A and B are shown apart, each in its own frame.
Chain A
């Protein structure tokens, strides 16, 4: 029972984080200009934030020093600049990373 309440509370708090901006700036009201501006530039900044977020558990001070991640990202980015095909960049990049950590490092 205790755990059910805990999960329910955690689910509600998670919902709150998702609904908050929409509750504050509703459908009818005009959104303030600064929020409109942030809304436009945030996606670029957030993608950068998420890339770093994914790497937060990588230990750069001990072997293999984050080299597999660095190489994996380089392959994904290079492939994407070259071909601009998301599935290709993601698929080959991930396969390459898996080979690196399973076989090479």
Chain B
């Protein structure tokens, strides 16, 4: 990777850097407060789990002395959305070779939104772009978690900084909306998730949302086909 490519990846991942640093710091502080675990734990969890909500969950499970089985089930429920990401990356990640296992391992919400939306800079392969985005995002996360654990609370009021990740997803959503003619998938995504949030509550709504999205997208494909036949 040359300097120009690196600059592009850095620029594309800048919102994630901001979000991960602050969310990671939040995690590092929480881990220290609730379990009194130090740097090694913060880094280890950030390196091997690389999951914001999953790590926050782990802290409360450890503090509550939860059972391992319930921890496994809760982790699966929270992270099941990764299955969705994988489905849309099966084709793009084909042929990525040695980099592929790492690219799959390091797949997060934010990395997913960047690799599905952004085009690699000229002269850089898509696989290489996706790999570096994944790696940099991973490094940001480990850095944030470690800093929070080491330094504790920040002296300046950064309340609201976590909105940077919401803003990232909104931007990607608008970008998708402007580039695609068919807006039905976007509407289904928002509508189905909002509906399930109201129906099932904020703890378990993601799984029913994903199921509903998959069903509605499949139905919309069939009706779309029928219309073209007529």
Contacts and interface: CB of A to CB of B under 8 A. Distances in A.
Majority-rule SS of B interface residues: helix
Contacts, number: 245
Assign chain A's interface to a size class: 35 or more
B146 to A, nearest CB: 16
B86 A44 contact: no
Contacts of A18: 79, 82, 85-86, 104-105, 107
A86 B15 contact: yes
A90 interface: yes
Interface string B38-58: 000100110011110010011
A15 B164 contact: no
**Most chain A Cβ neighbours within 10 Å, of B93, B190, B209:** B190
Interface string B19-54: 000000000000000010000010011001111001
B160 A100 contact: yes
A53 B109 CA distance: 11
B87 A42 contact: yes
B186 A98 contact: no
Contacts of B192: 45, 49
Interface of A: 3, 5-11, 13-22, 25, 27, 31, 34-57, 68-69, 72-73, 76-77, 80-81, 84, 86-87, 89-91, 93-94, 97-98, 100-102
The 8 closest A-B pairs by CB, nearest first: A48-B189, A21-B86, A45-B189, A98-B160, A48-B190, A44-B185, A52-B193, A54-B166
Given A42-B88, A46-B88, A86-B175, 17 more contacts: A7-B48, A14-B82, A16-B76, A18-B82, A22-B86, A43-B88, A45-B186, A47-B113, A47-B172, A47-B176, A47-B186, A48-B186, A48-B191, A49-B190, A86-B171, A94-B160, A101-B160
Interface of B: 11-12, 14-15, 18, 35, 41, 44-45, 48-51, 54, 57-58, 61-62, 66, 68, 71-72, 75-76, 79-91, 93-95, 100, 104-105, 107, 109, 112-113, 116-117, 157-161, 163-178, 180, 182-183, 185-194, 197, 202, 205-206, 209-210, 213-214, 217-218, 221
